[in-house]
Structure formats: structure tokens, C-alpha cells
């Protein structure tokens, strides 16, 4: 590879990095969307009074499954993550994540009380955390 080719590749990489940073800055204006999935997992565990180990375990107990379903749904619908990425965080495959996402969609549409209440509480927790982060950033920048 010649020096000219290396220099062209280096410029392309720099341009791609700049575009990537611009996209990240553009996304940062969103509310719940910029939260990492780990915070979603923590919020679900807190609201449902479960441990991370319980939620991420292979046990198929209904309360653990519902927690994973809610995490899957928020990851897919609010964070716009793909099912494989969500699955890596909750120790499930993509098809299980999709099933959980649709299951919560159906339960929310039917207004099933426990799941709807839990889902709304988790979103409230995440929104309050985000608001606190924004307020902290404002104070520290002044």
C-alpha cells in the first residue's frame, strides 16, 4: 500500500469518526432513548424488588420472565436496540427478546394491571434519573 493510499484511508477514518460523534450528539437530546440498557435492568429490578441475578438467571419463574419481558420491550421500543443486543444483556437469544417485546405490547394493550403498573413505574424511574442527570450537568457546566 502506498503512502498516498494510507493517507486517503486515514482521512476516511477521521471523517467517519466525526460523523459518528455528530450522530451521538444528535441522539443525546432524547429523554429515555439515551439511557443504557443496564439502567433499564437496574430500574426493573428496583421496581419489581428482584436482584439482577434473579432477572438474568435461566429460571423461568413468571415474575422473572415478566421482568425480562419489560426490559426487552423498553430496550426495543424506547432505546431502539436490536433484539440480539438486548439478548446479550439479559442472557437470552433474539427470538426470546422479540417474544418478550410483543408479550408486553399485548399486555399493555389489554391493560393488564400488574404489568402495566410495573412498566409505567419503570419508565417513571428512568425519566426521573434522566432528569437528575440533566440537572447535574447543568449545574456542573455553570
Contacts of residues 98-103 at CB distance under 8 Å and 24 or more positions apart, as own/partner, are 98/72, 100/65, 100/68, 100/69, 100/70, 100/71, 100/72, 100/73, 101/69, 101/72, 101/73, 101/76, 101/77, 103/69
pLDDT at 43 > cutoff 70: yes
Percentage of the chain beyond pLDDT 70 is 86
pLDDT at 53 > cutoff 60: yes
Q: What pLDDT band is residue 30 in, cutting at 50, 70 and 90?
A: very low
75-105 pLDDT tens trace: 999 889 999 999 999 999 999 999 999 999 9
Q: pTM score, two decimals?
A: 0.69
pLDDT at 114 > cutoff 70: yes
What is the CATH number that goes with domain 32-141?
A: 1.10.1750.10
pLDDT at 8 > cutoff 90: no
Q: What pLDDT band is residue 19 in, cutting at 50, 70 and 90?
A: low
Residue 80: C-alpha distances to residues 26, 41, 67, 88, 116 (Å): 15, 15, 18, 15, 20
Give mean pLDDT, residues 117-137. Answer: 82
Could you state, in order of their start, the residue ranges of all structural domains in the chain?
A: 1-30, 32-141
Amino acid at each position: 500500500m502506498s503512502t498516498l493510499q494510507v493517507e486517503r484511508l486515514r482521512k476516511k477514518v477521521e471523517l467517519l469518526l466525526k460523523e459518528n460523534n455528530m450522530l451521538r450528539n444528535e441522539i443525546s437530546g432524547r429523554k429515555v432513548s439515551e439511557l443504557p440498557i443496564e439502567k433499564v435492568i437496574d430500574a426493573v429490578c428496583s421496581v419489581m424488588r428482584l436482584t439482577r441475578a434473579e432477572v438474568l438467571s435461566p429460571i423461568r419463574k413468571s415474575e422473572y420472565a415478566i421482568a425480562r419481558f419489560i426490559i426487552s420491550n423498553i430496550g426495543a421500543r424506547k432505546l431502539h436496540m436490536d433484539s440480539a443486543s438486548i439478548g446479550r444483556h439479559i442472557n437470552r437469544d433474539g427470538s426470546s427478546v422479540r417474544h418478550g417485546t410483543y408479550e408486553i405490547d399485548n399486555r399493555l394493550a389489554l391493560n393488564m394491571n400488574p404489568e402495566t403498573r410495573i412498566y409505567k413505574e419503570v419508565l417513571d424511574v428512568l425519566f426521573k434519573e434522566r432528569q437528575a442527570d440533566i440537572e447535574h450537568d447543568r449545574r456542573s457546566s455553570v
